[in-house]
Structure 1
Amino acid sequence: MTKAATLCGVPWTLENGGCTALPLPPDETIAGVARAHVANLLPKAGVRDADDVTLMVSELATNALLHGTPRSADGSRKPSAGAELWVYRRGDGRGRQELVVKIFDELRCWRRRTSAGPMPEHGRGLDIIDMLSGGRWGHHASRSRLRSPQVSGKATWFAVPVRGGHVRPISADPAHAVEELGALLADRGLAASPAAPAGLAVGGRAVWCERAAFHWCGRDGALVRMPVADITEVCEQLVLLHEAAREGA
């Protein structure tokens, strides 16, 4: 899986654990561009309720434009490369597959719902996502895929179930799977050095592959295991750990 294949946005990149990624315009066309791209992927992704999904995409994109764009002191938008749309498949932890739609923006934090009142005005679109996704949404620290050099920010996401079985692993060979993961991490600006047997050292954290799964220790010290087929999600989780460690430094 090469970066060129990731950038082109063709549906079949989803079938082997890959991610389709698209730069989004930093203007009012963002929702339409994001919606059209995801709508093109849905038939081959095995998603039901396409109308609900495209509505959630619109709300996610609009939220990124209005509240994920850096602003000057006077409230005007600063020049920005715009948000990024990411789409990939992963296991849902219950033996089924789901399609994940994420939009990355440059701002790490945003205002949250308070106990004293409802979501602020800019959060109403997220209420729609919460309702239509059955609560299967969230946000986390991340870094860009399509910029060089990479920038830190956050990814806001939702997930919906898909028809079909598990996606096939990129490779059942541990050494090859580790090589692929190292390439994905390098694309995100994370250095990963080989470690024996069939492993990587990523920012002082050991990641290894055995029995068609990646293993590492999370922030709480608990062992995390994810199948090789979910290599994109594995990369996301390791990026998240890296960004969280930077914040705690």
Structure 2
Amino acid sequence: MTKSATMCGIPWRLEDGGCAALPLPADDSIAHVARSHVTALLPALGLSVQDVDDIKLMVSELATNALQHGMPHDAPAGAELWVYQRDNGHGRDELVVKAFDTLRGWRPCDGGPGRPDHGRGLKVVDILTKGRWGHHRTRSRLGTPAVRGKATWFALPLPRTLRRRRAWRVGGPYAAKDLRTLLVQRGLDHLEQEDGEGMTVLTDGRGLTVRCEPAAFRWRAPSGAAGTLPIIDITEACERIVEICESPLG
């Protein structure tokens, strides 16, 4: 059973905005295992054969990159594959695939978005996603305690919106409780919850504030980093908040 099936009693599926989090081996089978994981998840999303083939190719490249450049000898092996949906900022859903590894920094030889010197594998990702990829600091989703590292990701548009706008747990203290549960699982366990009129506020005692309103999450950090996402994008909201906390100025 994957984490998309159930997470601390929250019955999310990939189609409903949940995140499938799957372990990857620290050996040469990593690309094959990653492809197998993603192949099992995609049929429910209505993607074309070409899209599926492109995704499998890109997943192989992310997994190989994690093995070659993201597992230092002095850090625990713990690569993971994450798959979920989110709004692309223009009212359309997109599929997000991330490979987590335990090396927090981005090695110069790996390159990065907008840089001409990244390797062949990430050039393929850059071309197929039209530049819709990147990397950021984060924490693992599998295992306890959560491990600090980074995620390398790509995103592709979905042919239609498949996530059902669930009536349960949307708005009020329910969404706030779910978000707090997800953040605690990622090691952010200093969050205090205060219920107010029309919203719930989460604070970490260090200046991070997350407002859980009837239809949206809004957050702001001492660094000035801020954001807003609809409640249905709770997976992405959690990831953005973890990234802020892992950033040097978070």
TM band (smaller chain): 0.7 to 0.9
TM-score by length of structure 2 reads 0.85
Counterpart of 1:157 (choices 149, 153, 157) is: 153
Runs of 4+ in structure 1 over 6 Å off: none
Aligned-partner SS, 2:13: helix
Task: Specify the alignment match of 1:30 in structure 2.
Answer: 30
Distance 1:240 1:26, change over 3 A: same
Aligned-partner SS, 1:65: helix
Task: Specify the alignment match of 2:59 in structure 1.
Answer: 57
Farther off after superposition, 166-175 or 145-154: 166-175
- Distance in 2 (CA, whole Å) between partners of 1:224 and 1:118 is 30
Aligned-partner SS, 1:177: helix
- Distance in 1 (CA, whole Å) between partners of 2:222 and 2:207 is 12
Question: RMSD of the alignment, in Å?
Answer: 2.5
- Distance in 1 (CA, whole Å) between partners of 2:35 and 2:138 is 22
- Distance in 2 (CA, whole Å) between partners of 1:222 and 1:166 is 30
Give the C-alpha shift of residue 222 in structure 1: 6.3
Distance 1:100 1:217, change over 3 A: same
Give the C-alpha shift of residue 45 in structure 1: 1.9
TM-score by length of structure 1 reads 0.85
Task: Specify the alignment match of 1:68 in structure 2.
Answer: 70
The one-letter amino acid paired with 1:172 is V
Task: Specify the alignment match of 1:107 in structure 2.
Answer: 103
Give the C-alpha shift of residue 239 in structure 1: 0.2
- Distance in 2 (CA, whole Å) between partners of 1:23 and 1:3 is 11
The one-letter amino acid paired with 2:240 is Q
1:241 paired with 2:241, answer no
- Distance in 1 (CA, whole Å) between partners of 2:59 and 2:100 is 13
Q: Deviations over 1:184-213 (max 9, x none)?
A: 001101022102321211343111122311
1:212 paired with 2:215, answer yes
Unaligned stretches of 5+ residues in structure 1: 72-77
Aligned-partner SS, 1:33: helix
Give the C-alpha shift of residue 6 in structure 1: 4.8
Farther off after superposition, 210-219 or 45-54: 210-219
- Distance in 1 (CA, whole Å) between partners of 2:122 and 2:32 is 17
Distance 1:127 1:219, change over 3 A: farther
Aligned-partner SS, 1:138: strand
Task: Specify the alignment match of 2:201 in structure 1.
Answer: 199
Unaligned stretches of 5+ residues in structure 2: none
Contact 1:215 1:224 in 2 (8 A): yes
Give the C-alpha shift of residue 29 in structure 1: 0.4
Identical residues among aligned pairs (%): 52
Task: Specify the alignment match of 1:188 in structure 2.
Answer: 186
Task: Specify the alignment match of 1:18 in structure 2.
Answer: 18
- Distance in 2 (CA, whole Å) between partners of 1:180 and 1:24 is 26
The one-letter amino acid paired with 2:61 is E
Task: Specify the alignment match of 2:137 in structure 1.
Answer: 141
Contact 1:6 1:19 in 2 (8 A): no
Give the C-alpha shift of residue 80 in structure 1: 3.6
Distance 1:6 1:204, change over 3 A: farther
- Distance in 2 (CA, whole Å) between partners of 1:144 and 1:79 is 13
Contact 1:87 1:102 in 2 (8 A): yes
Contact 1:218 1:224 in 2 (8 A): no
Contact 1:213 1:226 in 2 (8 A): yes
